[in-house]
Amino acid sequence: TQLLEQSPQFLSIQEGENLTVYCNSSSVFSSLQWYRQEPGEGPVLLVTVVTGGEVKKLKRLTFQFGDARKDSSLHITAAQTGDTGLYLCAGGVLTGANNLFFGTGTRLTVIP
């Protein structure tokens, strides 16, 4: 089982601030996906990155895949209260059934 560590585990910031969440592993992944999970619901995909060094932007969210495809970051600009939630990274492995292995999660709270 590949291990993905996310940091920080908990993050509480004021509305309008910027933040970065990190996802690190010693394993190489074929893809890295970021999900957001609301309480009592399943994870919902935000983005998939597949190329080392790739950067993707989704409105105020910027995702980067590390050059060695072992790590990733999620940067949120001018956080809003609607960004509050659990953010999960998940590494994809292109063997067998292409399993996804989830990170430890970052619980973000944006305070108005």
Partner 1 sequence: EPEVTQTPSHQVTQMGQEVILRCVPISNHLYFYWYRQILGQKVEFLVSFYNNEISEKSEIFDDQFSVERPDGSNFTLKIRSTKLEDSAMYFCASRLGGNTEAFFGQGTRLTVV
For residue 96, state whether it binds partner 1 (rule: CB under 8 A).
yes
Q: Residue 71 has which token pair? A: 């790590």
Residue 82 Cβ vs partner 1, minimum distance, rounded to whole Å: 20
21 and 6 Cβ atoms separated by less than 8 Å: yes
Distance between CA atoms of 34 and 45, rounded to whole angstroms? Answer: 6
Give the three-class secondary structure for 61.
Answer: strand
Residue 96 Cβ vs partner 1, minimum distance, rounded to whole Å: 4
Letter string b/e over residues 89-112, b meaning 16 or more CB atoms within 10 A of that residue's CB: bbbbbeeeeeebbbbebbebebee
Piece of 11-19, 53-61, 65-73, 87-95 that binds partner 1 (CB under 8 A):
87-95
For residue 58, state whether it binds partner 1 (rule: CB under 8 A).
no
For residue 92, state whether it binds partner 1 (rule: CB under 8 A).
yes
Residue 78 Cβ vs partner 1, minimum distance, rounded to whole Å: 27
Interface contacts to partner 1, rule CB under 8 A = 1, 30-31, 33, 35, 37, 40-45, 48, 50, 88, 90, 92, 94, 96-105
